Structure 1
Amino acid sequence: MANVLIIGGGIIGLSTAYYLQKAGHDVTVLDKGDMLDSCSYGNAGMIVPSHFIPLATPGMLSQGIKWMFNSKSPFYVKPSLNPDLIKWGLKFMKKATADHVERSAVPLTELSLLSKKLYEDLNAEPGFDFDLVEKGILMFYKSEKAAEEEAHLAEKGRELGLDMAVLNVEECKQLQPNLKLDVLGAVHYRCDAHLSPNKLMTALIKYLKASGAKLLSNTEVTKIESDNGKVTAVIAGSQKFTADEYVIAGGSWSPAIAKMLKVNVLLMPGKGYSFNVPDESGTMHIPALLAEARVAITPMNGGLRYGGTMELDAINTRINMNRVKGIVESVPKYFPDLKPAVPEQKDIWFGFRPSSADGLPYIGRTKNYGNLTLATGHGMMGLSLGAATGLLTSEIISGKTTTIKVADFAPDRN
């Protein structure tokens, strides 16, 4: 069995550690933070096999340009001469084709369904109750254009074997009679689920510590050494770590980590915001996605978690209140009785989704180093794809045939 060093203690890094530990490897996880407030905590908690369409789509180009002139829009790219952003944008434009969407659907669906099954198995393990609820997710829409698009996606989803149903308003009301609606209808993604990311992360950390894995927080990697096509050591401050195998699972920080080895990882951080509001009346018990507004609402821990926006920019600590107001203002347009107040800045969580240009994650070996594996670039689906990525990365390191094919996620793909 191998000694494995994982850089990154978010859902991808910890899931990888979990499956490696179960396979009998010795695991060490390094994280630059305290492992208590990453993207893995503040997300909407959705498990989404329904999301088989990558970010890079033909319609996203034209829509993205329109949104750039609206400070409250759900998607924004800050104009910049940053070479990485320019490279990212050029590849995004190259991949935003109908052919790419078609070819990505099967691998993304397989990855998502594997992850959902693994979460179901994990939730049944002692000490791993993280409020997994399998009621699906409702994608609500207000416009005829969105209704047509969502119906088309539902048809495609059914062709891929996913359980999806187009509902009219009355059928939506029957599912949640206490929720007042102002919509044309919804697609019920019955194949989806949701969970509490905070409880999941806490359970993973507790299990890993109890099973002998070393979790080192506030340990930022400053240098990586290599020799003759192999990584030989990782330096974090005054500490030096050696292992047989190395994994980069640093989320939006992965490009900077990989650059220490002259490995190019093309992804951009997509800032998202979320905030929590109590919901004593329990008006919503099935998570909602607002099609036109690109907002997510999840029942969680006795309240509702509101989340949204994708702001591509360099990693920063700014909170753009206009984007948060955009989330708040969109909600009553769909649900007239839900009127969340604009939260104070201290109550707003934000995190950075590591977004690849073609919308597919990076899972696999790099061509230049025989003992380096990447597990990053999951965009808005890090939590959803975390369990599957962890298992696949463990299988790759163990030299096993992977449960599903991973060629489409190769880090060195064009």
Structure 2
Amino acid sequence: MARFTVVGGGIAGASTAYHLAKSGHQVTVYDRADTGQATDASAGIICPWISQRRNKKWYRLVKESAKYYPEFIAQLQEETGLDTGYRREGSISLVKDDHIQNLAFERIQSKQSDAPEMGDVRKVSREEVKRMHPNLTDLYPGVYVEGGGQVKGAILLKALKAGFMKYGGEWINADYDGQSVDGTLIYTTGAWGIEQRHEPGVRHQRSEVLHFRLADSQNNDRTPVIMALGPIYIVEMGLNQYAIGTTHEDTESFEAIPSQENYEYLRGLAHRYFPDSKIEDVRMMVGLKPYTRDFLPFLGYAKENVFVINGMGATGLTASPLVGREVARYLNNEETTLDINDYSYI
């Protein structure tokens, strides 16, 4: 049995701690619950196959992560008896017109042979989009991916903490004091990784998400995730409640107060995609999403006995459960699905 100290209690830290404790190790997590943690503000879309990013290492990470999710969720729910907020209702990528729809369909479907977990991939007409998501505008056709899903970060984190402690882990809601520890120190501090002052360099973006309800609409839930035009998503969060986001702003600030400008922008988008509905605000949320070099997550040693997991960015909730498993296997000297050296670039 080895000794591990994990600093940072987001999904990446909790998943790593959970998988290590499950392997029989002595694990302690320190988490100071900073306002603006990306876990709380993320909509948690699990649909990496629609991305147009060409970084093969990044795609391999998120593809394997999406494949692992159903197994991971089933195990965690069985162990804890808790909901994880994970659902697979499919996703629809909206496009401007039929020509773009054909191009998007060919691009997305080309990935299906290497990722059968995508399930059915098909073009959907404007009328089909409206049938699948009755409150949504019927202005746009789309491409439907059956395997697309979502997860609620705060609910998943609660379940992970319960699973971690079931296996004997210790969770301390406090700042790590920086003193040397026996065993291996694992930093999963996200945007606050800049405080450790070691490589890899961490920067962050501020993202904002608007949660709202449709006050006068028919009762609808279990709707597909919507990837709207531009880098915008719409995710169902409950009966007639949705989240729409997100904005992306490079910043050095850790301020987590929503801005009026972004609120007005996102509310305008809500009216655009739900033109026939009365929209009532629920809340605005701000998340600080960390990035490392080339927007590729870093997994590796910063120095002897100090391991770093950071730079998860906008795909943190997709990738973090698998990253936790893979890092635990790596530290156990077990075979990994990913080549960790691909993500250890210092």
TM-score normalised by length of structure 1: 0.73
Q: 1:242, 1:273 → 2: CA distance?
A: 37
Q: 2:190 aligns with which of 251, 255, 263?
A: 251
Conservation of the 8 A alpha-carbon contact between 1:142 and 1:334? no
**For the structure 1 residues 339 and 199, does the alpha-carbon distance in structure 2 shift closer, same or farther, using more than 3 Å as the test?**
same
1:225-278 deviations in Å (ceiling 9; x for gaps):
xxxxxxxxxx2xxxx351311111111112332x1xxx3223321111123324
**For the structure 1 residues 102 and 361, does the alpha-carbon distance in structure 2 shift closer, same or farther, using more than 3 Å as the test?**
closer
Q: 2:313 aligns with which of 379, 403, 407?
A: 379
**For the structure 1 residues 301 and 21, does the alpha-carbon distance in structure 2 shift closer, same or farther, using more than 3 Å as the test?**
farther
Cα drift, residue 8 of structure 1: 0.6
Q: 1:361 aligns with which of 287, 292, 297?
A: 297
Cα drift, residue 382 of structure 1: 0.9
Task: Provide the residue aligned with 1:93 in structure 2.
Answer: none
Task: Provide the residue aligned with 1:335 in structure 2.
Answer: 274
Q: CA RMSD in A?
A: 2.7
Equivalent position SS for 1:348: strand
Task: Provide the residue aligned with 2:153 in structure 1.
Answer: 197
Aligned partner of 2:92: which letter?
Answer: L
Q: 1:145, 1:409 → 2: CA distance?
A: 37
Conservation of the 8 A alpha-carbon contact between 2:4 and 2:26? yes
Task: Provide the residue aligned with 2:284 in structure 1.
Answer: 348
Conservation of the 8 A alpha-carbon contact between 2:86 and 2:152? yes
Q: 1:310 aligns with which of 248, 258, 264?
A: 248
**For the structure 1 residues 149 and 370, does the alpha-carbon distance in structure 2 shift closer, same or farther, using more than 3 Å as the test?**
farther
Task: Provide the residue aligned with 1:83 in structure 2.
Answer: none
Q: 1:340, 1:313 → 2: CA distance?
A: 30
Q: 2:261, 2:97 → 1: CA distance?
A: 24
Equivalent position SS for 2:6: strand
Equivalent position SS for 2:144: strand
1:319-370 deviations in Å (ceiling 9; x for gaps):
3221222121113323322453566xxx32111111234232112334xx23
Q: 2:111 aligns with which of 152, 157, 162?
A: 157
The answer to whether structure 1 residue 108 and structure 2 residue 62 are counterparts is yes
Equivalent position SS for 1:50: helix
Conservation of the 8 A alpha-carbon contact between 2:213 and 2:281? no
Conservation of the 8 A alpha-carbon contact between 1:392 and 1:402? yes
Conservation of the 8 A alpha-carbon contact between 1:271 and 1:310? yes
Equivalent position SS for 2:294: coil
Q: 1:211, 1:106 → 2: CA distance?
A: 30
Equivalent position SS for 2:48: coil
Task: Provide the residue aligned with 1:399 in structure 2.
Answer: 333
1:50-78 deviations in Å (ceiling 9; x for gaps):
25544xxxxxxxxxxxxxxxxxxxxxxxx
Conservation of the 8 A alpha-carbon contact between 1:119 and 1:387? no
Task: Provide the residue aligned with 1:125 in structure 2.
Answer: 79
Q: 1:396, 1:286 → 2: CA distance?
A: 38
The answer to whether structure 1 residue 285 and structure 2 residue 242 are counterparts is no
Task: Provide the residue aligned with 1:30 in structure 2.
Answer: 30
Q: 2:312, 2:219 → 1: CA distance?
A: 31
The answer to whether structure 1 residue 45 and structure 2 residue 1 are counterparts is no
The answer to whether structure 1 residue 320 and structure 2 residue 255 are counterparts is no
Structure 2: gaps spanning 5 or more residues:
none
Equivalent position SS for 2:258: coil
Equivalent position SS for 1:309: coil
Task: Provide the residue aligned with 1:8 in structure 2.
Answer: 8
The answer to whether structure 1 residue 269 and structure 2 residue 204 are counterparts is yes
Aligned partner of 1:358: which letter?
Answer: D
Task: Provide the residue aligned with 2:168 in structure 1.
Answer: 212
After TM superposition, which residue ranges in structure 1, 4 or more long, deviate above 4 angstroms?
Answer: 143-146
Equivalent position SS for 2:24: coil
Equivalent position SS for 1:13: helix
Cα drift, residue 22 of structure 1: 0.2
Q: 2:99, 2:251 → 1: CA distance?
A: 30
Cα drift, residue 186 of structure 1: 1.4
Aligned partner of 1:207: which letter?
Answer: G
Q: 1:215, 1:102 → 2: CA distance?
A: 35
Structure 1: gaps spanning 5 or more residues:
55-99, 222-234
Conservation of the 8 A alpha-carbon contact between 2:36 and 2:288? no
Q: 1:181, 1:106 → 2: CA distance?
A: 34
Task: Provide the residue aligned with 1:140 in structure 2.
Answer: 94
Aligned partner of 1:192: which letter?
Answer: G
Task: Provide the residue aligned with 2:18 in structure 1.
Answer: 18
**For the structure 1 residues 217 and 37, does the alpha-carbon distance in structure 2 shift closer, same or farther, using more than 3 Å as the test?**
farther
Q: 1:335, 1:145 → 2: CA distance?
A: 24
Q: 1:142, 1:334 → 2: CA distance?
A: 13
Q: 2:279, 2:78 → 1: CA distance?
A: 34
